[in-house]
Amino acid sequence: MGIFSRFTKRDSTHLIQPASFLNPHSTLGELDLYLIAEGRHEQLWKALGAHVRRDDSNELLGTAFSVWAPNAQAVSLIGDHNFWDKNTHHMVRIGSSGIWEIFIPDIGVGTRYKFAICGIDGRWVDHADSMSRATEIPPLTASVVEESTYVWSDSDWITKRTKFESWRSPVSVYEVHLGSWKLGLSYRELAIELVDYVRAQGFTHVEFLPVTEHPYGPSWGYQVTSFFAPTSRFGSPDDFKFLVDALHAAGIGVILDWVPAHFPKDEWALAKFDGTALYEHADPRLGEHPDWGTLIFNFGRNEVRNFLVASALYWLTEYHIDGLRVDAVASMLYLDYSRKEGEWVPNINGGRENLEAVQLLQEATSTAYKTHPGIMMIAEESTAWSGVTRDTSSGGLGFGFKWNMGWMHDVLQYLQHDPIHRVYHHNEVTFSILYAWSENFMLPLSHDEVVHGKGQLVNKFPGDRWQKTATLRALYGFMWAHPGKKLLFMGSEFAQNDEWNESAGLQWYLTEYGEHQGVQKCVAEINALYKKLPSLWEKDTSPEGFTWLVGNDGAANVVAFARWDDQGTPLVAITNFSPMPHENYSLPFPTTGTWTEVLNTDDLAYGGSGITNEPVAVNDGAQLVAQVRIPPLATIWFKRS
């Protein structure tokens, strides 16, 4: 009898049931089994995993468990209820679906459990539930039975969101690593402190580095083991809902980093889940990531594609998330990504494009937008792949936005040159306009720029301390005026000194000092103005919303341009990346009228030198040129009165 020798003959005949057999407490119907096989089950979390069952009077009956493990010889449920004994509760396989299930009476919320899975080779491995919605606190790895009782209060927000047109709205994102924003805070404590701070700083959205459960803290959440569970480090799933709800109540949207590109090799998690390469490719040329030491999903398998799309929909549905930023898209799109010749397998057409990953991304974006109008799907994609934000019906990937890594790289590289040499690199600060409307872009100054020896933003720039902070303020004024949505990593808004460390909190004590207070106040006021000035966002995705005024004055380190709204109202932005002020600078304006400074990052209130302008009258309709004062290392915005 081989692997089943421990069972009686009667036991073994009941290990497999026809698909039509469903126990009265099963979470699976015939339609569920069909949709799972087809890879089309958009609410997979309601079919698989652990589900508490109650009677009509809400009394606990027990918990139903189900798991997809098609190549397993046997599966047992182990946990607190049976002292982790795999010989106690043998799960039943439903026909040829590859799904195993069991119902355990009288156990419910808080029960810890795993699936003991016997692979083809007869080896038993204890795995966490691939569909678990709650987990133990790492480094413990068991799944936990969860049943939400949270009552949302954001119906007005969700209703309003359905009409949200993100591409022509202000979007200013504060990127946050929950564990190190302030050390030791729970989800519910963050719902007070983080919410108050983000509201005061004027950001429209927060973006959380992955909250999906992960065993290794220094991965920052990017090595995910539970794609349906918020990390238990800061509280329960309902506590995380409380945080999202509080952000919505404050008028702040929530974006999550979502990681479908890869997963870690931990034996207790997804790796060789049923004794075979189930979620990953068996061929290491397709199934292993050489840089990160992780496994790559088999995007071409229906059930795996369904697992990932359902994960995306889960966060949007159950946690009311307003957008997903998809990590490492470039690594998904190219079969030869970070591989040498002979280390990758071409697609069926002989090319390097991962056609199965393209299909997965298209399905994820199109389904997300179809089911949740008004959300944002954002790609972290660092190559020149065409059509990242083009509609899927036109062959695009269907994202709403793409991170503009080229802008980030060029501008930071430009600012790291000594100002006297910037004249030779002027194209680095202007080149982005040549492709600014090839995609819908978001401008990121993210966590990636302040780790791994790169230092903090403020310390990338040459000069003394005043010049460094002045350059940072000038950069923010330039960035918020430049076409594209905005993203800034925590700590950068007050010019943190030390490189970000996930195990240490931000240097909040610095905000007691003038130069840091000045940058912090500058960012808050830039955000406030940004939201009030449609010229900066209504035509973000159209070249009609931008006009160069000064694009070739590299000798003075000056750039100037106009932004336009739907009504033809302009805003003028001038940036001087030189430490020398320019008095009586001849600046072309787009129209006649009286122009007033609405932002000057050299303001004394921000720690600047205080070189400002009185209202500027532009009366000559032929030349439209006026003399202005441009402070050192500063950005000015002019609005027509």
Do residues 257 and 210 make contact, with C-beta atoms less than 8 angstroms apart?
yes
Do residues 441 and 483 make contact, with C-beta atoms less than 8 angstroms apart?
yes
**The CA-based dihedral angle spanning residues 247, 251, 252, 253, taken in that order and rounded to the nearest 10 degrees:** 100
Which of helix, strand or coil describes residue 423? helix
Tell me the three-class secondary structure of 261-282, residue by residue. Answer: CCECCCCCCCCCCCCCCCCECC
Which of helix, strand or coil describes residue 586? strand
- Of 356, 355, 636, which is closest to residue 522 (Cα–Cα)? 636
Give me the catalytic one of 327, 428, 449, 597: 327
Angle at 291 between CA 327 and CA 435, to 5 degrees: 45
Do residues 610 and 597 make contact, with C-beta atoms less than 8 angstroms apart?
no
Work out the angle between the directed axes of helices 187-201 and 514-532 (0-180°, nearest 10): 80
Q: Which residues contact 434 (CB under 8 A, 6 or more apart)?
A: none
Do residues 142 and 112 make contact, with C-beta atoms less than 8 angstroms apart?
yes
- State yes or no: is 239 an active-site residue: no
| Residues 437-473: b if buried by 16+ CB within 10 A, e if exposed | bebbbbbbbbbbbbbeeeebbbbbbbeeeeebbbbbb
Amino acid at 274: D
Do residues 247 and 333 make contact, with C-beta atoms less than 8 angstroms apart?
no
- In angstroms, the CA 470 to CA 440 distance is 29
Secondary structure letter of residue 350 according to DSSP: S
- In angstroms, the CA 496 to CA 504 distance is 13
Pairing status of strand 593-600 against strand 634-640: antiparallel
Question: How close are the terminal C-alpha atoms of the chain, in Å?
Answer: 88
DSSP 502-555: TTS---GGGGGSHHHHHHHHHHHHHHHHHHH-GGGTTTTTSGGGEEEEEEEETT
Give me the catalytic one of 32, 147, 175, 380: 380
Amino acid at 445: L
Which of helix, strand or coil describes residue 92? strand
342, with CB counted inside 10 A (0-12, 13-18, 19+), is exposed
- State yes or no: is 327 an active-site residue: yes
- In angstroms, the CA 576 to CA 609 distance is 14
Determine if residue 308 is left, alpha or beta; phi over 0 gives left, psi from -120 to 50 gives alpha, anything else beta: alpha
Do residues 201 and 177 make contact, with C-beta atoms less than 8 angstroms apart?
no
Q: How far is CA 519 from CA 389, 536, 601, 608, in A?
A: 33, 21, 9, 10
Q: How far is CA 289 from CA 148, 272, 353, 571, in A?
A: 36, 16, 16, 46
Catalytic residue list:
327, 380
